[in-house]
Amino acid sequence: MVMPRSTQLVKDADIRAADGDYLHAINLYESALDGTGASADIHYKLALLYDDKMKDPLNALHHFKRYLTLAPSGSRATEAKNYMKRGELALVTNLSGDAVVTRAEAVRLKNENLTLRKEMDEKVAQARAAAVGNEKITTRGGRPEKGASPTKTTKGPPRSHVVQPGDTLFSLSRLYYNSPDRWKDILDANSKSIDDPGKLKLGQTLTIP
């Protein structure tokens, strides 16, 4: 059976990325983009490559934004928004006279970031309001109903994550800790199951401390 051209390009790009040939992988991923919703995951992979491997925050921001445009409720949407909230402000702060982008572009990026932050704040407020509503239902006169026990804060068991295409220790650190700096914590917690920190195994279950 002959694969569609875009599917073959993505497959070849995955192989190139796994081999460390990042520039070739980027060219292949970009050739597979068609502007439809099916391109969302490709934009996400490009964003990770530019962020983790190429150290190019401007292009990483572009592809995270394209992912959110095509898949606003996608499985990676929260991570993409978190990255843009940090990355855009850092980009604006670090601009210099010989920057790659103009200051007008920097202002545009900052405004888009503020919009995303507002949306996230609204969702947090809605979640808190829902929690307060549930609490009122289970209490009477400000006291727990008869038979109900006070709520106790307990530390739950470590989280787990099943490795998906494009996952890296850096991206998982951003996803769970809002920072790529705690990747080593994840590595240490899974030292017996991770053979190569640069190549996570698809379908592998990792412990997130």
pTM, two decimal places? 0.48
pLDDT for res 44:
95
3-state helix, strand and coil shares in percent for the chain, rounded to the nearest 5: 60, 5, 35
pLDDT for res 133:
65
Residue 109 placed within a domain: no
Residue 23 placed within a domain: yes
pLDDT for res 111:
66
CATH code at 163?
A: 3.10.350.10
Task: Tell which of 74, 105, 135 closes a domain.
Answer: 74
Domain that holds residue 18: 5-74
What's the structural domain count of the chain? 2
CATH code at 12?
A: 1.25.40.10
Please report where in the chains the tokens 């099916």 appear, as a residue.
38
- Reading the chain (209 residues) residue by residue, the pLDDT tens digits are 456 888 999 999 999 999 999 999 999 999 999 888 889 999 999 999 998 899 888 899 999 999 999 999 999 999 989 888 776 666 665 554 444 455 555 556 666 666 666 666 777 677 777 766 665 554 444 444 445 444 444 456 678 999 888 788 878 888 888 887 888 899 899 988 888 887 888 888 999 99
